Amino acid sequence: MHVQIDHPCVQHKLALIRDIETGHKRFRELATEITQFLCYEALKHIKTKEVDVQTPLAIAKCHKIDTDIVVVPILRAGVGMLEGILELVPTARVGFVGLYRDEETKQPVSYYERFPPQVDGGTCILIDPMLATGGSTAAAIDVLKKAGAGKIVVICIVTCEEGLSLVEEAHPDVPIYTASIDEKLDENKYIVPGLGDAGDRLFGTSH
């Protein structure tokens, strides 16, 4: 299952972050802002519990989140989305997964995994700005499930049908939230029109 967030504020910020003239400082800010909107939607049905809160006037029946939230960026570009979720859910814990592509098999291989114990039983939010071929995302979900994760949500800024199809076929139980489903992948497996290299644009490492 995938959801494209068409809210005008999201689409406005998406237009700004796509712009080749947007520098790395503003790109990071926009990635944070878009991520907050996407996370807001992704957590719409998260488990809550009713609590009594004493206001200055009376007892109010309120609701608080009743599950551990673990945010897992895919290194390195996923780190650029982390702040947006932590601003929305400051108590969230953070894990990391690093992947590289084997030159012979062309398959993603995990080189770094670090998760808090709350992965098992909590809600894991896997973040990466670009869900292109879907290979890295599917592999990261494999890693999380192996670590005990049962509830996983993927948040990306931009994706395409090819990547969505691969992830949904491999993990039909994992919903994907995005700001845009773009046209296609080019011959170099970049999303078109996309954002360019999100990692380079986030961290100012473009040549």
Give the residue numbers marked as catalytic: 101, 105, 197, 200
Cα 161 to Cα 146: distance, rounded to the nearest angstrom: 26
Alpha helices, DSSP H only, in the chain?
8-18, 24-42, 79-88, 135-146, 161-170, 198-203
CB atoms within 10 A of CB 105: 8
Distance of CA 155 to the CA centre of its chain: 3
Q: Is the bond leading into 76 cis (omega within 30 degrees of zero)?
A: yes
* C-alpha distances out from residue 170 to 134, 142, 155, 173, Å: 10, 9, 17, 9
Measured CA to CA, the distance from residue 117 to residue 134 in angstroms comes to 26
Query: How far is 195 from 159, CA to CA, in rounded Å?
Result: 10
Helix (H, G, I), strand (E, B) or coil at 9: helix
Pairwise CA distance, residues 78 & 112, whole Å: 14
CB 22 within 8 A of CB 30: yes
Look at residue 135 and give its three-state secondary structure: helix
